[in-house]
Structures are given as structure tokens and as C-alpha cells.
């Protein structure tokens, strides 16, 4: 009989649903060493939890997340709540001896993230953080090409994650626009993805940053309809990056970039070639190499197919394309195999703590007008 891994999901908004889809689909897409079972779901009230458990196919529900983390039948606590709750929920889950799968950013601050790393490592539980874009076939291929030396030695990284989900000034003040509930703004939300991506793709750690942040829409209508409130974090940000090897690069991120819906993109330039990628065309990777005569050189488009990482598990037909939720299915495969096979998971709490530290370093750099080293965080 295959082993079962009982999942306890907290939060059923955008991400909670994406995780539920992934847990259900993962055993049909991949041959897993154990089956994830959608066992217990927690929401803010008993009624909402019960309805969501029915809709998302969970066995049981509770209106109190403490009940979930302390339930002896739960193996993995999956945290899909707003950022400010990640730390409290993760520490409680770790204290109860559970493995923890958390959404990003890991915490509101680097110090909080550090506390979570220490607790998880001391308890010896497995952790995984939802930086799902690194699971896309094209991005896994980009990393393979860089690591193989096919484009020579890396000499530059350029990355952005720009969206326009808050470009409408009439959209209300929600948890994402408040310091106490979100931490940083675009920089912590979508910016965290491109910072993690920079380290994943290059295989190198960022050591120093020089940042700049701005809030473009300073006030938003309050959710109760009574007046407006001050937006407490950045709408967009950018930073110069220096990696430990001396490699240089830059990043930008926005939640008010009109027209950009899924604008995660990067260019990796090497001494012998380059890679260009845009998540709005997530099945395509642009590759330039110095092979062949000058007159025939140019970027070529590689359309993902069964020869590329993790694609064939979804489809035997080239060019038919994966989607956003497929990245989460791959992430869940890694979670289950990491737990059952006792393998290292990436990005775990320690890796995600680095991202929190980079976010804070960019904020400090902006405030103090100087380069900031990650070790200052």
C-alpha cells in the first residue's frame, strides 16, 4: 500500500485553492512515493471552513487553525494565509512536530524568518516555501543551460517581476497595502519571486544591494467604505545587485505596472551566449549561442516539450503548454518526495530567510542611500 501524507491547509483564498488543486492532481501527474491526502482545512469561521472543505475536497474542517496544527493525524501544515500569520502558524506547527509548506514571503521581517529557520532546523522538520515560478519547465531548462556552461561564464543578470494588480487607485486598502499584515509591498510580494529566481538561476548568492522604492498611490479607500487610509509600503522598487562571485545585475518589481499581468522576466548574459525568458510566454525560452557563422546567428525560440524538465508528466505532445497551476503540482511533487525520501527541499525556510533579508537590505539601502550587505540583516 502506498504511504499517505495527511495535509492540513490553512487559508483558502487564491493560494489555498491553487494548493488544493495541486494536492489533488499531483498523484495523477507524477508517480509519487506517497499520496497526499486533503484531510483537514482551516478558515476564519466554522461555516466558511465547512463550505471550502466541501468545494475543495477536504475530509474535515475547522474554524480554528490551532486545532489543525495540533491534530495528531496531520503530517504537513500548509500555510496559505496572509503574510503576517505565517510566523505564528509555522512556529505552532513546528512545535507540534509537523512539516511546514508555507507561501511566500516567509515572514514580515528577516528577524522573524530567522526565528522560523532556527525552530524548524532544531525540530528537524522539513520546510518548503512557495516560490513556484522556479518549477516551470522553461526556467528549469534555463538553470540547466547556465549550469552546463553552454552560454559561458555568466556576466550579467537582469530580472523583473512587474504586475498591475493595484494600478487602479479605487482598489481598497487590503492586507497587502499595510505594513503590519504584508511587510514590504510589491518588493515583498512579487519582488520576492524574482530575488529567489536570481539565486536559483545563477546558482549564486546575492551579497550586496543598492535599492530604490516608491509608493505611487499614497492613499486608498478603506474597506469599510469610510474615507481613505495611507498606503504603508512600496508600489514599486528596483535594485542593483552584486553576487558573491562578483557577478552584477539588477531587479525591478511593481504592482502598478500598467499592462503587465504576469511580468516575471529575466535575461542571463554569458560570455558565450544569452537566455531571455518572459513568464507571459511561459512555454518559450529564447537562447542565443555563438555557434555557427556570424551571418546565421540570432536568438532561437525553444518551445517546451517532453524532452524538457517535468513536461512529459503532463503531456507527451510538444508545444501544448503548461500553466501556472502545473508549477504548483511540481512543487507538491517535490514536497512529498522530500518528506518521504528525506531529501533536501529547495527553497526551504533557510533559503526563504535569505529572500527576506534581501528585501530588508533593499529597504535599508533606499533609506540610507548606500550599498547594503546581506549580512547586515
Ligand X SMILES: NC(=O)c1ccc[n+]([C@@H]2O[C@H](COP(=O)([O-])OP(=O)(O)OC[C@H]3O[C@@H](n4cnc5c(N)ncnc54)[C@H](O)[C@@H]3O)[C@@H](O)[C@H]2O)c1
Q: For the CB of residue 154, give the shortest distance to ligand X in the complex, in Å.
A: 26
Instruction: Please report, as residue ranges, which positions from 178 to 207 form the binding site for ligand X (by CB under 6 A).
Output: 189
Between 5 and 44, how does the x/- string for binding to ligand X read (CB under 6 A)? -----xxxxxxx-------------------------xxx
Least spacing, CB of residue 102 vs ligand X, in Å: 8
What is the smallest separation between the CB atom of 246 and ligand X, expressed in angstroms? 31
Cell numbers that stand for 212 in this block: 530604490
Regarding 71 and contact with ligand X (CB under 6 A), the answer is no
Span from 80-88, 249-257, 270-278, 354-362 in contact with ligand X (CB under 6 A): 80-88
279, burial (CB in 10 Å: exposed 0-12, middle 13-18, buried 19+):
buried
Q: Which of 131, 151, 102, 191 is nearest to 287 (CA)?
A: 151
In contact, 201 and 139? CB cutoff 8 Å:
yes
CB 190 within 8 A of CB 105: no
Residue of 23, 30, 58, 65 interacting with ligand X (CB under 6 A): 65
Tell me whether residue 10 or residue 285 sits nearer to ligand X (CB atom).
Answer: 10
- Non-local (6+) Cβ contacts of 231 within 8 A are 173, 177, 185, 215, 217, 218, 219, 220
Nearer to ligand X, 175 or 288 (CB): 175
Query: Which residues are bridge partners to 287 per DSSP?
Result: 275, 300
Interface residues for ligand X in 331-370 (CB under 6 A)? none
Region at 67 (left for phi over 0; alpha for psi -120 to 50; beta for the rest): alpha
Candidate segments 79-87, 156-164, 267-275, 360-368, binder of ligand X by CB under 6 A: 79-87
How far apart, in whole angstroms, are the C-alpha atoms of residue 222 and residue 243?
A: 41
The reply to whether omega before 347 is within 30° of 0 (cis) is yes
Nearer to ligand X, 24 or 242 (CB): 24
For the bound state, the minimum distance from the C-beta of residue 15 to ligand X, rounded and expressed in Å, comes to 3
Select the span of 28-36, 82-90, 271-279, 312-320 touching ligand X (CB under 6 A): 82-90
* C-alpha distances out from residue 297 to 146, 157, 183, 287, 304, Å: 19, 22, 46, 11, 21
Interface positions, 129-148, toward ligand X (CB under 6 A) = 130, 132
Give the residue at shortest CB distance from ligand X: 13
* Cα–Cα nearest to 336, from 103, 40, 128, 36: 36
Catalog residues that contact ligand X under the rule CB under 6 A. 10-16, 42-44, 65, 80-83, 85, 103-104, 130, 132, 189
Amino acid at each position: 500500500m502506498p504511504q499517505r501524507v495527511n495535509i492540513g491547509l490553512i487559508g483558502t483564498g487564491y493560494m489555498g485553492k491553487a494548493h488544493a488543486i495541486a494536492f489533488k492532481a499531483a498523484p495523477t501527474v507524477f508517480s509519487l512515493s506517497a499520496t497526499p491526502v486533503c484531510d483537514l482545512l482551516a478558515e476564519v469561521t466554522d461555516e466558511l471552513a465547512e463550505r471550502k472543505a466541501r468545494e475543495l475536497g477536504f475530509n474535515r474542517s475547522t474554524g480554528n487553525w490551532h486545532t489543525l496544527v495540533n491534530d495528531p493525524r496531520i503530517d504537513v501544515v500548509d500555510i496559505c494565509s496572509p503574510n503576517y500569520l505565517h510566523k505564528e502558524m509555522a512556529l505552532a506547527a513546528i512545535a507540534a512536530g509537523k512539516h511546514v509548506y508555507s507561501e511566500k514571503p516567509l515572514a514580515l521581517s528577516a528577524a522573524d524568518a530567522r526565528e522560523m529557520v532556527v525552530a524548524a532546523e532544531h525540530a528537524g522538520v522539513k520546510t518548503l516555501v512557495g516560490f513556484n515560478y522556479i518549477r516551470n519547465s522553461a526556467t528549469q531548462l534555463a538553470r540547466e543551460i547556465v549550469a552546463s556552461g553552454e552560454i559561458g561564464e555568466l556576466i550579467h543578470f537582469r530580472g523583473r517581476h512587474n504586475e498591475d494588480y493595484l494600478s487602479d487607485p479605487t482598489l481598497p486598502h487590503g492586507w497587502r497595502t499595510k505594513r503590519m499584515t504584508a511587510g514590504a509591498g510589491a518588493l515583498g510580494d512579487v519582488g520576492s519571486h524574482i530575488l529567489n529566481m536570481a539565486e536559483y538561476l545563477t546558482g549564486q548568492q546575492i551579497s550586496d544591494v543598492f535599492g530604490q522604492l516608491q509608493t505611487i498611490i499614497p492613499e486608498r479607500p478603506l474597506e469599510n467604505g469610510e474615507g481613505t487610509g495611507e498606503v504603508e509600503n512600496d508600489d514599486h522598487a528596483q535594485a542593483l545587485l552584486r553576487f558573491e562571485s562578483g557577478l552584477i545585475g539588477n531587479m525591478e518589481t511593481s504592482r502598478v505596472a500598467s499592462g503587465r499581468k504576469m511580468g516575471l522576466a529575466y535575461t542571463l548574459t554569458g560570455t558565450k551566449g544569452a537566455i531571455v525568458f518572459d513568464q507571459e510566454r511561459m512555454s518559450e525560452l529564447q537562447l542565443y549561442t555563438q555557434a555557427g557563422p556570424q551571418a546565421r546567428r540570432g536568438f532561437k525560440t525553444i518551445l517546451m516539450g517532453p524532452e524538457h524538465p517535468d513536461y512529459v508528466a503532463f503531456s507527451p505532445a510538444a508545444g501544448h503548454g503548461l500553466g501556472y497551476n502545473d508549477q504548483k503540482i511540481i512543487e507538491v511533487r517535490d514536497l512529498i518526495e522530500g518528506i518521504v525520501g528525506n531529501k533536501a527541499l529547495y527553497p526551504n525556510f533557510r533559503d526563504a530567510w535569505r529572500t527576506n533579508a534581501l528585501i530588508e537590505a533593499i529597504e535599508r539601502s533606499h533609506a540610507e542611500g548606500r550599498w547594503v550587505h546581506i549580512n547586515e540583516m
